[in-house]
Chains A and B, each alone.
Chain A
Amino acid sequence: EDQVTQSPEALRLQEGESSSLNCSYTVSGLRGLFWYRQDPGKGPEFLFTLYSAGEEKEKERLKATLTKKESFLHITAPKPEDSATYLCAVQAYGQNFVFGPGTRLSVLP
């Protein structure tokens, strides 16, 4: 059974304090790993797709990396507007997207 865990469950950072969020997964035949951002009361918003180990994607202050067992979302010099829940999802070939429980990030000014 495909499984996704995320750590930490919650993270509080000071503005400008860089950190990383972890997504660990077990899946038979990974087609892709996806990162989403979810603001309170909203639906998830797509950030990145990673398809193979060693791949990296960047967008503004966010950088996602992928290994064979986990993915990291690195946040460089975060701002308060980066506060949100970050969700990781995996998809095996021919299967559904399986989401992790998310990491709640708070960035304090």
Chain B
Amino acid sequence: GAGVSQSPRYKVAKRGQDVALRCDPISGHVSLFWYQQALGQGPEFLTYFQNEAQLDKSGLPSDRFFAERPEGSVSTLKIQRTQQEDSAVYLCASSLGRRENTGELFFGEGSRLTVL
């Protein structure tokens, strides 16, 4: 497809389980971002990749959150030992240029995580 694809669209986890969320960015896009969006709020930055390099992970809320993009295309956001406060929509976005000179982010539809 031509857009950013995320899977799964919905994930229900029991507290303490590990989850993995996948993002397929637009082919050729250099930058990839992960955001967390709570209900009724704007997206909050988690982490940024330029190709395979994770240049910024300042938004990851704890060491239970881990992201990778090993070949500079598909990215995975992993959350270990999930907690109820992790419940949110996780959005992936990609852009053609680097973060410092890009004009538009292309977002996926998000993965909604519910932790019981």
A residues whose Cβ falls under 8 Å from a Cβ of B:
4, 31-32, 34, 36, 41-46, 49, 87, 89, 93-94, 96-102
Contact A96 B45 (CB under 8 A): yes
Are B107 and A44 in touch, CB under 8 angstroms? Answer: yes
Size band of the interface chain B makes with A? 20 to 34
List, sorted by A's number, 24 A–B pairs whose CB atoms are closer than 8 Å: A32-B103, A34-B104, A34-B105, A42-B109, A43-B109, A44-B43, A44-B91, A44-B105, A46-B104, A46-B105, A49-B103, A49-B104, A87-B42, A89-B42, A96-B45, A96-B48, A96-B56, A96-B99, A97-B33, A97-B45, A97-B105, A100-B42, A101-B42, A102-B41
Q: How far is the CB of A23 from chain B (nearest CB, A)?
A: 11
From A41, A42, A102, B42 is in contact (CB under 8 Å) with A102
- Among B43, B99, B104, B110, which residue has the most Cβ atoms of chain A within 10 A? B43
> Does more than half of chain A's interface fall in helix, strand or loop, or is it mixed?
strand
Q: Decide: A41 near B109, CB < 8 A? Known: A96-B48, A97-B45.
A: yes
In angstroms, Cα B100 to Cα A44, docked, is 20
Q: Which residues of B contact A99 (CB under 8 A)?
A: 35, 42-44
**Which B residue's beta carbon lies closest to that of A6?**
B42
Bound CA–CA A31/B59 (angstroms): 20
Report if B40 contacts A (CB, 8 A): yes
Flag if B44 contacts A43 (CB, 8 Å): no
Whether, in the assembled complex, B66 has its beta carbon less than 8 Å from a beta carbon of chain A, the answer is no
Per the 8 Å Cβ criterion, residues 43-74 of B in contact with A are 43-45, 48, 56, 58-59
